[in-house]
Amino acid sequence: MAVAAPPERITPPKEGVRTWPLIDQAAYVLCWVVGIGLCVIAAAIVLYMLVKGISYLKPSLFVTPPSPSLSQKASGGFSSPLVGTLVVSLIGIAIAAPMGVGIAAWLTEYRRPAGLARAVESAIEMLAGAPSIVLALFGLLIFSQGFLKFLSQGTAEGALGQSFLVAGIVMSSLALPLVVTSTREGLLALPSRVRESSLALGKTRATTIRSVLLPSIRPNVATGIVLGMGRIIGDTAIVVVLLGATLQNEPASSTPLLGFLRGTGSTMTSYVYNNSPAGEGNSPEKAYAAAFVLLVIVLILNAVVTRLAGGGSGFSLRRRLGWTR
């Protein structure tokens, strides 16, 4: 028995906020204010840096090294700091990535003895929370004495403790927790049947990790690496303490690569700091330009992370709850 459609269809209204008690309405409005306010602040920061940065940015800045001079016109560009940033982050991530993946694999796949594994986890957590300035101090301590002197320039009482190598090594401890956490998340999310089927085929666990598990979590590992690089690139404290923050890159000796790596230098972050009123302070224009370039680099890295993470796995802030209103 077919029944005809009704004459009119009423669409239900949204739950009216007007009917709520006053204090709830106030909270609702407050949430909106905060939400829009966030967008405004972010827009303000980006626009400000954009405007100021572009107005002072010149292509020549990328290729001219900074030179000591009181006037802004003659103080050169930021080619050396740019190289410095690149070198330091490469060294840092070259150390942190394999170590981080290895530690994460050990923590998830082996975990024996259990007490040791827990201790390692706590240590990684502590490392993640340690201020970079403290890490820098510690780095200075161990790298300026003892058998590690060779990593930086020697002076009368021991090594300076400041060089690209030293800074790179300490920077790796910044990136390490991020790589470990990302890789662990990826490994823990893999269903156990992947491991079981590989082991059932007679592969050792080591082979399983190397040829089955790690390739499937490549996005996670990449995310961790890029996040780590972002953290390294954005750090200033370690650079100032462990790299010397000298105006130009000053190699420690004349040996081509090793001399450079053992020498002091600067990165974009210390360059911005030095040129701002807080540092030597006489070229805020260069500071703006360098800050702009730094921001762009970091944003690009960020976009890479977003694409690697698949734009939704675990980091997406909005999730449909089934309540579409």
Partner 1 sequence: MAARPLETSAERRARRSERRTERTLGALSVLVLVAIAAMAVTVFIKAWPSFSYNGLGWFGTGAEPSAQLRAMHEGTPLPGHGLLYFTAWQLIWGTIITTGFAVAIAIVVSTLAAIFITEFAPAAVGRILDPVIRLLAAVPSVIYGLIGIVAIAPWINKNLISPSLANSVSYVVQLNGESLSTAILLLTIMILPIMIAISANAFASVPPSWREGSAALGVNRWRTIWRVSVRTAWPAIAAGTVLATARALGEAVMLAMVAGGRDFAPNLLDGLALLFEPVRPLAATIFQESGGLTIGPVSHTLYAIAAVLLVSAALLSFAGWAARQPLKKYGLS
Partner 2 sequence: MDPLMPPPVRRIDVGQAPTIAPPRAQQPAPAAPSNGAALHRAPRRPATVTERMRLDSVWLAYGENWVVRDVSLRVNQGAVLALIGASGSGKTTLLRSMNRLTEITASAGRSGSITLDGTDIHNLEVNALRRRVSMVFQQPNPFPMSIFDNVAYALAEQRPKRGIRKRSRTPQLESAVEDALRRAGLWDEVGDDLGRSALRLSGGQQQRLCIARSLAAEPEVLLLDEPCSALDPISTAIIEELIVQLRESVAIVIVTHNLQQAFRVGDEVAFMHLGELVEYGSAEQVFDRPREERTREYVSGAFG
Q: Which of residues 199-238 bind partner 1 (CB under 8 A)?
A: 204-206, 209, 230, 233-237
Rounded to a whole number of angstroms, the minimum distance from the CB of residue 158 to partner 1 is 10
Strand partners, 158: 155
Task: Please report, for residues 33, 37, 298, the alpha-carbon distance to residue 44 in angstroms, rounded to integers and kept in the order given.
Answer: 16, 10, 18
Stretch that binds partner 1, among 21-29, 54-62, 145-153, 184-192 (CB under 8 A): 21-29
State in angstroms the smallest separation of the CB of 55 from partner 1: 13
CB of 25 to partner 2, least distance (A): 14
Scanning residues 6 to 65, which ones bind partner 2 (CB under 8 A)? 6-13, 15, 19, 21
Q: Does 318 bind partner 2 (CB under 8 A)?
A: no
Distance CA 249, CA 306 (A): 33
Nearer to partner 1, 87 or 291 (CB): 291
| Rounded-to-integer distance, Cα 5 and Cα 174, Å | 66
**DSSP readout, 119-187?**
HHHHHHHHHHHS-HHHHHHHHHHHHTSGGGGGGS-EETTEE---SHHHHHHHHHHHHHHHHHHHHHHHH
| Cis preceding-peptide flag for 7 (omega within 30 of 0) | no
The length of the chain in residues reads 325
State the sign of the Cα–Cα–Cα–Cα dihedral 291, 292, 295, 297.
negative
| The pairing of beta strand 158-159 with beta strand 154-155 | antiparallel
- The listed partner (partner 1, partner 2, none) that binds 13, CB under 5 to 8 Å by sort, is partner 2
Judged by beta carbon distances under 5 to 8 A according to partner kind, the member of partner 1, partner 2, none in contact with residue 115 is none
Binding at 90: pick from partner 1, partner 2, none (beta carbon under 5-8 Å per type): none
- Asked if residue 46 binds partner 1 (CB under 8 A), the reply is yes
Among 112, 318, 319, 325, contact with partner 2 (rule: CB under 8 A): 325
Compute CA 96 distance to the chain's CA centroid, rounded to the nearest angstrom.
Answer: 12
CB 292 within 8 A of CB 54: yes
Residue 12 touches which member of partner 2, partner 1, none, C-beta under 5-8 Å by kind: partner 2
Applying CB under 8 A, among 51, 54, 94, 141 the residue interacting with partner 1 is 141
Shortest reach from residue 296's CB to partner 1, in Å? 11
The contact set with partner 2 (CB under 8 A) reads 1, 3, 5-13, 15, 19, 21, 322-325
